[in-house]
Amino acid sequence: MYQTNARVAKPGLLSQILSPSLKTREAIAAYIFLAPFLIFFSIFFVRAVILAVEYSFYDWRLLRPTRPYIGLENYIELFEDEVWWTAVQNTFVFTIMTVIGTTIVALAAAIAVTQPVRGQGFFRVLLYMPSLFSVGAVGLIWVWLLSTQFGVINYGLSFLGIRPINWLGDPDLVLPALSLTTIWWSFGFPMLILIAGLQGIPEQLYEAARIDGANGRQLLFNITLPLLRPAILFVTVTGVIAHFQVYGQTYIMTSGGPGRASYSVVYYLYQMAWVAFRMGYGAAVAVAIAVIMALLTTLQFLFISRRVEY
């Protein structure tokens, strides 16, 4: 058979630019649609992060015209400050309680509102409604509910013979009280995520398990929870990121008290930057918070996502 040594000429660079492939055109279109967000992200996030890191090396006080360079002194002072470590400890305790509580409540609510009952949509809206409130409204509502003088919760406990509890004035109870407030306020969004995960589980799996004699507990722990791991991972990771930045509840309900029992890292940042006007030190606090949150997120993905099947 006759063979030719002629090679097929590859399209040149100019022809590739003038007549791009379908994949190239799709990539260009995607970047065009992403451009507004990327510009916004670069200006208001990336630039802000870079400036925060830069300012953390200066002794920048808002009411002082000069801004001397001091290197790592802000970070050294931060790590030697007992108030900072108290705030870190309080924030960790609050975050753990709130993330665990929010996940459990959201999962229970998601399972309840996915049952085939009348008024299913109404109950979903009712349970989601608290997440629509502002932190100011939530804080004021729960200050009233937890009041020792006219609070509804203490009034209900009085029928059980329990004397009024100083929820927001007891150092041992203030963090659980703030956590309870936040769980009530924020479980709506995780509930929606878990509802979507539950609706993605094939009903045939439950039917086959029931035929084999599985009860409700076995269905929950052998089918529902294993198949919900990706959704639970998302809920816990986003929950840690959100609740580690707690500020509004602390500011409105306790002002960091009693003593410093409810001091959080973001409330500490507010005190340093906007009360003491130490912007350079506040920038160092912000960088430290960002590093802690990045480490927590990485650890969650390393230890939780190992058993997640995507």
Tell me the CB-side half-sphere exposure of residue 264, using CA atoms within 13 A. 26
d(CA 214, CA 220): 10
Average pLDDT, the chain: 89
Looking at 36-75, which runs of residues are DSSP E strands? none
Longest dimension (CA), the chain: 104
Please give the pLDDT value at position 16: 53
Q: Tokens for 170, please give them.
A: 């007891």
Q: How far apart are CA 176 and CA 146, in angstroms?
A: 12
Looking at the predicted structure, is the pLDDT value of residue 1 above 90? no
Identify whether the C-beta of residue 135 lies closer than 8 Å to the C-beta of residue 114: no
> Cβ distance 296 to 244 under 8 Å?
yes
Q: Residues 180-232: pLDDT tens digits?
A: 999 999 999 999 999 999 999 998 999 999 998 889 889 989 999 999 998 99
CATH number for the domain running over 79-307: 1.10.3720.10
Please give the Cα distance from 264 to 92 (Å, whole number): 9
Which token pair is 252? 């409105």
Inter-CA distances, 278 with 105, 108, 119, Å = 40, 45, 54
pLDDT digits (tens, 9 = 90+) for 252-304: 999 999 999 999 999 999 999 999 999 999 999 999 999 999 999 888 888 76
Residues 188 and 127: beta-carbon distance below 8 Å: yes
Query: Is-contact 67 283, C-beta < 8 A?
Result: no
* pLDDT tens figures, 138-163: 999 999 999 998 899 999 999 999 99
Residues linked to residue 69 through DSSP beta bridges, in sequence order: 58
Residues 6+ apart with CB under 8 A from 84: 78, 265, 268, 285
**Residues forming CATH 1.10.3720.10 domain(s) in the chain:** 79-307
> In angstroms, rounded to a whole number, what is the distance separating the alpha carbons of residues 115 and 17?
56
Instruction: Give the CA distances from residue 271 to residues 64, 157, 204, 274, 277, in Å, rounded to whole numbers and listed in that order.
Output: 18, 36, 56, 6, 8
